[in-house]
Structure 1
Amino acid sequence: MTEIAERAANQALRTDLEDVYGRYEELRSGVDELQRSLATMQVSAESPDGVVHATVNADGELVDLRLDQQACREWNVDTLARIIVETVQHAAAGKHRQVERLVTTHRPPDEAA
């Protein structure tokens, strides 16, 4: 191989490496943003009548629960417990949908299809 051909091949390799590194940096940046979004994610749900309000984090852990005074006065404990569980489940389902949207948004363009 001639010296000119070797230089051209080396330049082509450098260009390819720079391209790969650039794509890696974009992907890494997207992963960092995704991690930040997940770390701060909170999703809330409300019971149909609005007397129970539950918030979960990205791990699905209950981080906030608010009950209207009406719920405590009018419902027996079994009904209140059932509605709390259902509301937390709705918040967790919303969390799953939000995580799916975030992951889809942060996929590299060639994998998003």
Structure 2
Amino acid sequence: MKFVNLTLLLILLLAKIQAQDKSVRPTYNYDGYLQISNDKKLPIKLNFLVLLDSSIVGSYNYNPQNGRLKLAGIFNTDYSITFFEWDIKGHNTGRFDGQVSKDRHTITGIWKSGDKKHEFPL
């Protein structure tokens, strides 16, 4: 009887571990830039997590001394992404619309300012 209980417990434990593996998602970290003008690039660091429902949460910065901006958005099945960004006060400061490469190593797209006055390639 003890052997049966121990075996059943091990099977349940293994099933739980496998279920957890499917729920763990990697954090994506990118170093890139916004092309401000033909001769000026603004370096950025982008970090995000894709949740099980394909929503995105994360942050990024372009000037570490100014802190990080919050990101939220969606990662679509066609590898297109949309992020909205907010500053520490909760003001929408911009939007990213882009495409992630199939190997997930690069992101390209457009950044638009929250007031829609500026637009730069990412």
Interval of TM-score (by shorter of Structure 1 and Structure 2): 0.3 to 0.5
Larger strand proportion of the pair = 2
Q: TM-score if structure 2 supplies the norm length?
A: 0.33
Larger helix proportion of the pair = 1
If asked which structure has higher relative contact order (CA below 8 Å, sep 6+), I would say 1
Q: TM-score if structure 1 supplies the norm length?
A: 0.35
Which of the pair has more CA radius of gyration?
A: 1
